[in-house]
Amino acid sequence: MKKIAQPTVGVVGATGAVGRTIQSILAERDFPVEHLRLLASERSAGSVVDTPWGSVTIENLAEADPAGIDIAIFSAGGGRSREYAPRFVEAGAAVIDNSSAFRRDPDVPLVVAQVNDEAIESHKGIIANPNCTTMALMMAIAPLHRAAGIDRMVAMSYQATSGSGQQGMDTLERQIAELGTDRDALQHGVWKDPGGDLYQRPIGYNVLPMAGAITEAGHTDEEWKLVHETRKILDAPNIRVEPTCVRVPTMVGHGIAATMFFDRPMSGQEAKEILADAPGAQVWPDDHVPTPLDSAGIDDVLVGRIRETIGDPGGISLWAVGDNLRKGAALNTVQLAELLLDR
């Protein structure tokens, strides 16, 4: 793998919720940016952004020349990644892609920093950043998998609206404001649909027990991502995963409640000890259970409610929550970029 010393970094989708977080994390972590290029749609092209590396004019992705970019971080949706990432690679860039476009491609490594760093070595130009829900879960379960081998897992997600991008947070804010003016109507089920084309049903004062769109076998694309990405990241193609992905009315912080059974029984004490030493994860005690609000704005994934299974003994149940814009997306892309550095 070619290592890079002082890269020119391109952020594609620079105006989005993740794209903006990528820029602040590059600055926070003192990433050695030689030159920063910001790319978005023609809607944003031409506007000027102040950055720690000087003023940068946003370029129109459709017209930009990728020559000179060493590391490109894409977070502008799968369509843009499919169309432009190969062109960037051809022009000499290593692409870290935050979309689902290449995650299942056997030639593209799918990497969670601090979990399977070594997988990046085999990249041929594109490196895939996992889905935000899978990412938080991996930080909590990969160490347990290494100790005892996960055989099967039931995982339920509680996904924040920022997982749907800026528009998700805007929809939540607007619907809470509109629906919140009439508590009586909410209590009696006569609320007026606040509308919005992002989610099929209101997310304000509500829970959507189906995050994503139904694809195969009655499962959503988000649920299939949990299945396939878990297997690929842990390099364990036989793990049986039963996912349910739910959208909840929070801004930031995806939570996952998971129950796992291993190749051998695991005690709650052992699970706690393993996770206490896990990089990038913090174990919180039962009298201070971590919530999505606790996770917002921080890098670590928070783990709580670690306990032994009761109906079928020998397994472990836990709760993990992580900032989906940071470790779930932007932070991991920057950590992957750090693995490409020559230092």
58 secondary structure, DSSP code: P
Q: Which of 5, 6, 34, 43 binds ligand A2P (CB under 6 A)?
A: 43
Q: Rg of the chain over CA atoms, in angstroms?
A: 20
Residues 6+ apart with CB under 8 A from 5: 32, 341, 342, 343
Q: Which position among 123, 132, 145, 219 bears the catalytic label?
A: 132
Q: Which position among 123, 145, 219, 254 bears the catalytic label?
A: 254
328 is a contact residue toward ligand A2P (CB under 6 A): no
38 is a contact residue toward ligand A2P (CB under 6 A): no
Binding window for ligand A2P (CB under 6 A); candidates: 37-45, 90-98, 185-193, 265-273: 37-45
Q: How many CB atoms lie within 10 A of CB 1?
A: 12
Minimum CB separation from ligand A2P for residue 44, in Å? Answer: 3
255 is a contact residue toward ligand A2P (CB under 6 A): no
CB nearer ligand A2P, residue 80 or residue 219: 80
Q: Which of 21, 44, 220, 324 binds ligand A2P (CB under 6 A)?
A: 44
CB nearer ligand A2P, residue 165 or residue 202: 165
10 is a contact residue toward ligand A2P (CB under 6 A): no
Pick out residues in 296-325 that bind ligand A2P (CB under 6 A): none
Q: Which of 4, 17, 26, 72 binds ligand A2P (CB under 6 A)?
A: 17
Exposed, middle or buried by CB within 10 Å (0-12, 13-18, 19+), for 16? buried
Q: Three-state SS for 283?
A: strand
CB nearer ligand A2P, residue 77 or residue 194: 77
What is the CA angle 292-261-266, rounded to 5? Answer: 90
Binding window for ligand A2P (CB under 6 A); candidates: 7-15, 22-30, 101-109, 254-262: 7-15
With tokens 């779930």, the residue in question is 328
Structure tokens at 38: 């910001």
19 is a contact residue toward ligand A2P (CB under 6 A): yes
Q: How many residues bind ligand A2P (CB under 6 A)?
A: 17
With tokens 């099929």, the residue in question is 200
Instruction: Provide the mask over 113-152, with x wherever binding to ligand A2P is found by CB under 6 A and - wherever it is not.
Output: ----------------------------------------
Minimum CB separation from ligand A2P for residue 169, in Å? Answer: 9
Backbone angles phi, psi at 11, to 5 degrees: -115, 115
Active-site annotation holds for 132:
yes
SS3 of 248-281: the string is CCCCCCEEEEEEEEECCCCCHHHHHHHHHCCCCE
Which residue has its beta carbon closest to ligand A2P? 16
CB nearer ligand A2P, residue 83 or residue 273: 83
Minimum CB separation from ligand A2P for residue 65, in Å? Answer: 15
Active-site annotation holds for 245:
no
- Strand boundaries in the chain, DSSP class E: 8-12, 35-40, 48-51, 54-57, 59-60, 71-74, 94-97, 126-128, 150-159, 240-247, 254-262, 281-283, 301-308, 316-322
Pick out residues in 163-192 that bind ligand A2P (CB under 6 A): 165-167
Backbone angles phi, psi at 166, to 5 degrees: -55, -40
Q: Three-state SS for 91?
A: coil
CB nearer ligand A2P, residue 62 or residue 185: 62
Q: Which amino acid, 110? A: L
Catalytic residues: 132, 254
**Interface with ligand A2P by CB under 6 A: which residues?**
13-17, 19, 40-41, 43-44, 61, 76-77, 80, 165-167
